[in-house]
Amino acid sequence: MRTKLKPLPRSAGTVVVLDFETTGLSPEQGERAIEIGAVLLEEGRIIDRFQSLMNPGIRINSFIEGYTGISNAMVRKAPSCAEVMAEFALFVQGHNLVAHNASFDEKFLDAELRRIRCERQGVFACSMLISRRIYPAAPNHQLGTLVKYKKLKTDGVFHRALADAEMTAHLWLALLQDIQSRYQINDVPFPVMHKLARTAKASVDALLARHSQRFVLECQGSP
C-alpha cells in the first residue's frame, strides 16, 4: 500500500528508510518476513510510503505475536511474501536504503528478494551505527531511546514496521541536520553517511572535517 505523506524539514539526499517485522532473527534458519514498512525521503521530505503485512507460510510463535502485535490470524489473509516483495522491489528501485540496525533488515530483504529471483541495487546505511558516532552521550542507541533523546515525532507505536520506519526517517534527518550544524556543512551526501557508519569513533571528527573542507573548496571554485 502506498500513500503520500506531508513534508519534513529540508535536508539533502534521496533514500528509502525501511523496517521489517519477522518471525525470528535469522532467514538462514528459515525465519520469514511478516511485515514491511518503508518511507521514501527526497530532499528531506517524506514523499511516499509503503506498508504491507505478508503471509510467511509458517506459524508465528507467541513471543513474536506479543512483541509485534501481529498475529497468525492477521497474516492468514495477507498477500504472500513473494507478492509483497515483488511490489516492494519496484518501490526501492534506484534508491539507497537506510535502516536502524541495518544488518538485520538487509539480510531479510536480500533473503526475500532471492526467493523471487531479484537483487537489490541500493546500498544500506545504518542509522544505529551513525547514532553511536554522533550521539555518544545517548543512554543507548535503540530506536525508542533515540526518539526520546532527540525529542522526535512519534505516535507511541513501536515494533510495527511503518511506525518504526517513519521514526527512523525522523532520526536520519536529525542526524543530517546535527552533522550539518556541528561541522558547518551544507550538504552531507549519502556516501559520506555510509562511510561514517563504518568509521571508528575516534576518526569521526577527522572524516567530517575533511568533508567540510572539501565542500568549502568546491564552493569557492564555483563560478
Q: CA-CA distance, 104 to 111, in Å (whole number)?
A: 11
For residues 171 and 143, the answer to whether their CB atoms sit within 8 Å is yes
Report how far residue 66's alpha carbon sits from residue 77's, in angstroms, rounded to the nearest whole number.
Answer: 19
The three cell numbers locating residue 50: 509503503
> How much is the pLDDT for 215?
56
What is residue 5's predicted lDDT score, i.e. its pLDDT?
36
Query: Domain locations in the chain?
Result: 2-221
The structure's pTM equals 0.89
6/32: higher pLDDT: 32
CA-based end-to-end distance of the chain: 45
How many alpha carbons lie under 13 Å from residue 27 in its C-beta half-sphere?
20
Q: Which 3 state secondary structure label does DSSP give 32?
A: coil
Report which of 3, 66, 49 is spatially closest to residue 168, judged by C-alpha positions: 49
Phi, psi values for residue 37, rounded to 5°: -135, 140
CATH architecture of 2-221: 2-Layer Sandwich (3.30)
pLDDT per position as a tens digit, 162-208? 999 999 999 999 999 999 999 988 889 999 999 999 999 999 999 99
Side-by-side strand order, sheet with 45-53: 2-3, 45-53, 33-42, 14-22, 96-99, 124-126
Cα 200 to Cα 210: distance, rounded to the nearest angstrom: 15
Task: Please say if the pLDDT value at position 98 is more than 90.
Answer: yes
Quick one: CA torsion of 29, 31, 36, 42, rounded to 10 degrees? Answer: 0
| Residues sharing a CB contact under 8 Å with residue 70, sequence separation 6 or more, in sequence order | 21, 34, 35, 53, 60, 64, 160
